[in-house]
Structure 1
Amino acid sequence: MRPLLVVDGDSLAHRAYHALPKTIRRAGGRPSGAIVGFTNMLLRLYGAEQPRAVLVGWDTLTVPTYRHEAFAAYQSGRVFDDDLVEQLDLLPELVRAFGFAAAKAPGYEADDFLAAAVEAKRRWRSHVLVVTSDRDAFQLASERVTLLMPTRGVSELARVGPDEVRERYGVEPEQVPDFIALRGDPSDRLPGAPGVGPKGAAQIIQQYGSLEAALTAGRFAAQAEELRLYRRIATLDASAPLPPLEDQSPLWAEASDLLSSWGMNQVADRVAARVQSSSS
């Protein structure tokens, strides 16, 4: 049965932006490397996986999430190039032009929409493929949810399921937020428990079963509330609002027309070629 494909749009766009030359430009000399790379990746994913539907989740950079409000240091120090931000603003429109679903709402991060889609589509018997480079999403892995994680630029993917999560972290997928809370997450500026690294975090969870059980047993009494907060921050929010998710047919011609209107004729022709191949 064909899978549902759920994509962390910001993750792929960031990787594309940094993997391709900044000299790639569209009409008016505007930046377009992230758009080109993202489009190429989306085409490859669709061709390889033949999903029944595609959802792409996006961050809203101009509005803080509850994570930022609860912990001031969360993701502090991140600065994005103006050229990248300009392209991030355009990409949800391109996703919709393809006939796919785009999810973006104030207060939510892209990976929250991944969790919401996984939760919402439990009634679907098909597999769910989650495309992201964010290891926080390890918590979504299950027998019916496989992560596709870029390993080199945006061209190579590693498949991650429950076994790979256990091998990498030493915990079950559902224990990943507890693991992150204890170990910390430098990329998000979460400090974790004092003196606890990856191996120590895994051992504590293996011993007690959960962060809460460890706290109940008296571990980390002075940091208990902070660790609970870190776990909440690390937990993806499956209540994020989603657009309707039903079976889709790609609108290659419409996406090609939009790319052409942006002065991106080469990638537009690549998308238009899908119209001919799908009708042959």
Structure 2
Amino acid sequence: MTVPLLLVDGHNLLYRAWHGFATRILSRDKNVDRTGVFGFAALLRKAQTEHAAGYELFVAFDSETGALGRVEQDSSYKAHRAAPDAGLLESLAQVKVALDHCGVRWVEHDGCEADDVVATLTYRARTSGRKADIMTADKDFIQLLADPHVRLLNTGVRADLRYTTGEHIPLRYGVHAAQWPDFRALTGDPSDGIAGVHGVGPKTAARLLADGRHLESVPADELRPAWAEQWDQVRRWREMITLASKADLPENLLTGLPTAPLPNAAVLLDELGLW
């Protein structure tokens, strides 16, 4: 029996942990903010307990050089994002130590964004017949839902909305999961600095991509002159949005074995001497 896989978008979860708690989690002397590592551990344990008992858990982080390839295609890619504060960076280091302590494997592969790592490991899992869930709030992963055995898990929303599958995408957006890079290139992605085509919103993009079309097959007579002039740029944006499902990652990153139950976050921080 193959063990299902829960792939965790590490920076996405850490950002949610750092910013998502109503009060800060401080060390006993009140001098050190432990919200990042505590929140990450607590949210991951909750996800395992409620959604992934018996799964293999694996966490992917962005490398410092991960975005360079996309920046070379468009200098505005993620250019608007502020540098993370020192507390968040310190939390990242603590999270990695905590994952090692719990026996949860993780990777930060030079030259790769976490998105491409997750896409590649999803591909590897599926080729060996394993189901894969991806824990994230990032919509870029919608494109991976073209495989019916892949789901997105967002534990930050109410229980009945936490899973997204490929069947949900046409109902929500009017396109199929496999068309997501085309759709997103047209409508834009402000979080990544991708502007999209002026005057093309979700409804217009869905109309242009009707009947499963991709950018190459959109009839020329459906394009305004200004859109047609921008079409080469739209294709570049699509390439940037498309995740690399065969990134050059080390072999045997995945064990194929279920991850042991994770400890309570407070107990974990005590074991690590972080209180």
TM (norm. structure 1) is: 0.83
The amino acid across from 1:81 in the alignment is D
* Aligned ranges 1:108-257 → 2 under 5 Å: 108-141=112-145, 142-152=147-157, 158-206=162-210, 209-214=213-218, 219=223, 220-240=227-247, 241-242=249-250, 244-246=253-255, 247-250=257-260
* Aligned ranges 1:267-278 → 2 under 5 Å: none
Structure 1 position 122, deviation (Å): 1.5
Given that 2:176 and 2:212 are in contact with CA atoms closer than 8 Å, whether structure 1 keeps it comes out as no
Counterparts in 2 of 1:152 and 1:72: CA distance versus 1, 3 Å: same
Q: Structure 2 regions of 5+ residues with no counterpart?
A: none
Count of matched residue positions in the alignment of Structure 1 and Structure 2: 263
Given that 1:182 and 1:192 are in contact with CA atoms closer than 8 Å, whether structure 2 keeps it comes out as yes
Counterparts in 2 of 1:203 and 1:51: CA distance versus 1, 3 Å: farther
The amino acid across from 1:224 in the alignment is W
Report % sequence identity: 30
TM (norm. structure 2) is: 0.84
Partner SS for 1:151? coil
- Worse-matched range after superposition: 255-264 or 103-112: 255-264
Given that 2:53 and 2:261 are in contact with CA atoms closer than 8 Å, whether structure 1 keeps it comes out as no
Q: Deviations over 1:203-232 (max 9, x none)?
A: 111157101222777844311221111001
Partner SS for 1:232? helix
- Worse-matched range after superposition: 203-212 or 176-185: 203-212
- Aligned residue in 1 for 2:14: 13
Equivalent residue in structure 1 for 2:70, among 67, 72, 85:
67
Q: Deviations over 1:222-276 (max 9, x none)?
A: 11221111001111122332552111443858x99973364345xxxxxxxxxxx
Partner SS for 1:50? coil
- Worse-matched range after superposition: 86-95 or 226-235: 86-95
CA RMSD of aligned residues (A): 2.8
Partner SS for 1:150? coil
Counterparts in 2 of 1:85 and 1:3: CA distance versus 1, 3 Å: same
The amino acid across from 1:146 in the alignment is R
- Worse-matched range after superposition: 38-47 or 57-66: 57-66
Partner SS for 1:93? helix
Given that 1:57 and 1:102 are in contact with CA atoms closer than 8 Å, whether structure 2 keeps it comes out as yes
Structure 1 position 171, deviation (Å): 0.9
Counterparts in 2 of 1:252 and 1:147: CA distance versus 1, 3 Å: closer
Given that 1:26 and 1:32 are in contact with CA atoms closer than 8 Å, whether structure 2 keeps it comes out as yes
Q: Structure 1 regions of 5+ residues with no counterpart?
A: 266-280
* Aligned ranges 1:5-84 → 2 under 5 Å: 5-21=6-22, 23-26=24-27, 29-48=31-50, 49-61=52-64, 64-79=67-82, 80-84=84-88
Structure 1 position 152, deviation (Å): 4.1
Higher relative contact order (CA 8 A, sep 6+): 2
